[in-house]
Each structure stands twice: as structure tokens, then as C-alpha cells.
């Protein structure tokens, strides 16, 4: 599936935000996450590197704490190297930096992180009185990053999409609907994608995975003057609503990384969105390649503007992270373990050769 740039820009310009849904349409029993009991998990990351000289690794740790839906608990580790807990000063992202000497033949580290989660839902038909963003936080989540510019083709596209919108809610919804209508999940994309949204728009082929499509949402929202952010994490449990594509099927979650997005609306606070998962349902939910009219797609589309099923761990909101001690470039986001040996960066999307395993275990269900 391909989209020509002229055609999709026209589609964005034609979208009438004033005719968009004024609130989230509850999807009934099919897919209806709402705040409920907290669930606790232990997530274990084990990493082994056959060394070729001095070696180091950087392992993301849960560092998001949101009163309504996510609590990062303690992380504990054991290693035959030297480990240091690092906190990024800009975004607050935490990760473990482990170093091994050149004489170590095999480098190993085991990290166990405990988290608690519960489902989220914002009733967009009932404006609230949220705590307002501090000026510095608002600036941070309107700011361009290396992979998420807010000028050029991103700004041009955003302006066309929100041209008929009046409120920040209408603009945020228009961008969400535009992404659902004009992008597609590209199965051949490695991992979760790169998140280079300007290149994606210039190409005219709007295919990718969550780090591409949800980053596109964030960039278009920021270009429209609405604070937005990516949330990088990993799925850790099955979907209790029966969506095989939106959960995990075993305790091994090594390849279950998933990033989501949030948009800040003045009358509602941070609102969860996930247009990438709508496209995932379309492509992957059995029997696969579902039409937009399929009940599961309709339910996902309605639900994922304003709600998340939080069978998922949130690591951080960070972009353009410098890995201390690294001889390689900054990483656009930290959602996978990273490592170097002999000065060469290993491929985090090849966990069979860069050997790491991530397991999830539910501790309580209260």
C-alpha cells in the first residue's frame, strides 16, 4: 500500500475537525479499558555478551510515575561487571550502565524491575480541571527533536490537517483520525521503526510501526502548538479484551517493545492515544488484514483516542539520549537494551546474537 504525497495532504486539508467526534465513544464490552484495580509485575531482563574487548551496556529501567495509571517500583540487579544507575537530566529517563573490562570473556547482567499498572480512560465529554503544565514542561513537549522536527513538511502537513479545527481537542482528534486513515503498518519494518517522521512524510509512503506512526502523531501535534510526547515501553501481559495483536502470548516478551503517545489538552490534562495500534489491529488481528469496518477495528479506533489497556510497561519519554561512555552516536529513544564491545555498537534488534531475554510475571491481581 502506498500513498502519494499530494493525495494525503489533500485528505488532511479536507478533514473537518468540527465534524469530528466530540468525545471518546465507549466501545462497550469489545474493547473498553477503564481505571480499575492495580496489577503488579516483575519484569526481568537478562543480558549476556561474548566480549571482544572492553564492553558496556545500557539497560532501560521503568522511570515513569503517573498517579492514575503507572508506578515504577524498585529495580535490582546482579552482574559480573560494574553497574551504575543513570538518570537523564532532561527527561528523567533511568537506565543501568554496566561496564566490563577487556579481560572478561563473557559479560552478564540480570535486572529485575517491579511495576504496577492499571487501565486508563479519559471521558472527553466531561472537561476537568487538570493541573496545568509548568512552562518548562510545556516547552519540552512542544520542542523539536532530531527525529521529530516541527517545521518544514511536518508543519505544512499539520496545518492542513487542523485547518478547520477550533479547539485543541478538535485538533488532536483530527490528527489522530488522519493518521489512522492515511498510514499503514508495514510488516517488514525492523523492530518498532526509527521514528524519522520528516523522511516518512517526504517519501509519501506512510508505512511503519509504532515508533514511526506514534512519533508522527507527536510531531504533528507539536507543530499544531499542542504538547505531546512519546512513551517508550514494552507489552507485558495478554489483552483481557481478547485482542491477540495488542498483548503478549507468553512470559517471554523480548520482542514486545511498544511505544505509545500522549497529548496534553488544556481541559483534560494528558490524554492517551495510540493510532499505531489501530493500524496493528487492521494488519495483524486474526484473521488479519481486517477492513476498517470490522467491529474490532471500529472498537479499537474509537477506544485508542482517550484510553489505553495498560498491559504494558512504560520506560520513559526520552529522545536523543547520550549513552555515557559510548563511542557511538546518541540514540533517538531508549526502548531496547544497548551494548558495545570492542568499541562497536551491537544491534539491539538482533537479540539472538546480542543475547538478551526479557520476561514478565504478574505478581498480584487485586
Q: Give the integer Cα–Cα distance in Å for 10 and 197.
A: 18
Same domain, 227 and 333: no
**Torsional class of 355: left (φ above 0), alpha (ψ -120 to 50), beta (otherwise):** beta
Can you give the pLDDT at residue 247? 97
Same domain, 330 and 265: no
The domain of 242 spans: 5-35+118-315
Q: Which of 145, 140, 56 is nearest to 323 (CA)?
A: 56
Same domain, 249 and 333: no
Same domain, 51 and 174: no
CATH number at residue 357: 2.60.40.2250
| Other CB atoms within 10 A of residue 139 CB | 11
Can you give the pLDDT at residue 309? 98
CB neighbour list of residue 193: distance below 8 Å, 6 or more residues apart: 208, 209, 210, 211, 212, 213, 215
Same domain, 67 and 191: no
CATH number at residue 225: 3.10.620.30
Q: Give the integer Cα–Cα distance in Å for 132 and 135.
A: 9
Same domain, 189 and 305: yes
* Residues β-bridged to residue 70: 66, 117
Can you give the pLDDT at residue 2? 35
Question: What is the distance of C-alpha 130 from the center of its chain?
Answer: 23
Q: Give how many domains the chain has, as a whole number.
A: 2
Q: Give the integer Cα–Cα distance in Å for 283 and 286.
A: 9
Tens of each residue's pLDDT in the chain, 366 residues: 333 333 444 344 333 333 333 334 434 447 999 999 999 999 999 999 988 899 999 999 999 999 999 999 999 999 999 999 999 999 999 999 999 999 888 899 999 999 999 999 999 999 888 888 999 999 999 999 999 999 999 999 999 999 999 999 999 999 999 999 999 999 999 999 999 999 999 999 999 999 999 999 999 999 999 999 999 999 999 999 999 999 999 999 999 999 999 999 999 999 999 999 999 999 999 999 999 999 999 999 999 999 999 999 999 999 999 999 998 899 999 999 999 999 899 999 987 778 999 999 999 654
Same domain, 136 and 103: no
Question: What is the distance of C-alpha 239 from the center of its chain?
Answer: 17
Same domain, 154 and 110: no
Same domain, 208 and 141: yes
Same domain, 241 and 356: no
Q: Give the integer Cα–Cα distance in Å for 217 and 233.
A: 17
Amino acid at each position: 500500500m502506498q500513498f502519494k504525497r499530494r493525495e494525503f495532504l489533500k485528505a488532511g486539508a479536507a478533514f473537518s475537525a468540527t465534524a469530528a467526534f466530540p468525545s471518546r465513544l465507549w466501545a462497550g464490552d469489545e474493547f473498553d479499558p477503564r481505571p480499575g484495580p492495580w496489577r503488579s509485575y516483575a519484569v526481568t531482563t537478562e543480558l549476556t555478551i561474548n566480549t571482544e574487548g572492553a564492553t558496556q551496556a545500557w539497560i532501560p529501567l521503568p522511570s515513569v510515575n503517573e498517579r492514575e495509571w503507572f508506578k515504577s517500583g524498585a529495580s535490582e540487579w546482579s552482574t559480573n561487571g560494574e553497574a551504575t544507575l543513570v538518570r537523564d537530566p532532561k527527561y528523567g529517563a533511568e537506565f543501568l550502565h554496566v561496564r566490563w573490562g577487556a579481560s572478561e570473556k563473557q559479560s552478564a547482567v540480570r535486572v529485575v524491575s517491579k511495576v504496577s499498572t492499571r487501565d486508563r480512560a479519559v471521558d472527553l465529554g466531561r472537561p476537568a480541571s487538570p493541573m496545568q503544565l509548568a512552562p518548562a514542561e510545556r516547552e519540552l513537549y512542544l520542542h523539536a527533536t532530531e527525529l521529530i522536527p516541527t517545521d518544514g513538511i511536518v508543519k505544512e502537513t499539520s496545518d492542513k490537517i487542523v485547518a478547520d479545527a477550533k479547539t485543541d481537542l478538535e485538533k488532536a482528534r483530527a490528527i489522530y483520525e488522519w493518521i489512522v486513515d492515511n498510514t499503514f503498518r508495514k510488516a517488514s519494518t525492523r523492530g518498532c521503526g526509527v521514528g524519522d517522521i520528516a523522511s516518512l512524510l517526504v517519501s509519501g509512503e506512510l508505512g511503519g510501526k509504532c515508533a514511526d506512526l506514534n512519533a508522527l502523531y507527536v510531531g504533528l501535534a507539536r507543530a499544531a502548538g499542542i504538547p505531546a510526547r512519546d512513551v517508550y515501553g514494552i507489552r507485558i501481559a495478554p489483552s483481557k479484551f481478547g485482542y491477540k495483536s495488542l498483548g503478549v502470548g507468553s512470559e517471554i516478551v523480548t520482542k514486545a517493545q511498544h511505544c505509545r503517545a500522549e497529548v496534553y489538552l488544556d481541559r483534560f490534562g494528558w490524554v492517551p492515544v495510540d493510532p499505531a495500534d489501530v493500524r496493528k489491529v487492521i494488519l495483524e488481528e486474526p484473521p488479519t488484514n481486517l477492513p476498517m469496518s470490522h467491529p474490532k477495528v471500529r472498537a479499537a479506533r474509537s477506544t485508542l483516542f482517550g484510553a489505553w489497556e495498560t498491559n504494558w510497561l512504560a520506560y520513559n519519554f526520552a529522545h536523543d539520549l547520550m549513552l555515557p561512555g559510548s563511542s557511538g552516536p546518541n540514540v533517538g529513544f531508549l526502548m531496547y537494551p544497548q551494548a558495545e564491545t570492542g568499541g562497536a555498537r551491537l544491534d539491539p534488534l538482533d537479540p539472538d546474537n546480542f543475547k538478551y531475554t526479557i520476561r514478565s510475571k504478574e505478581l498480584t491481581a487485586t
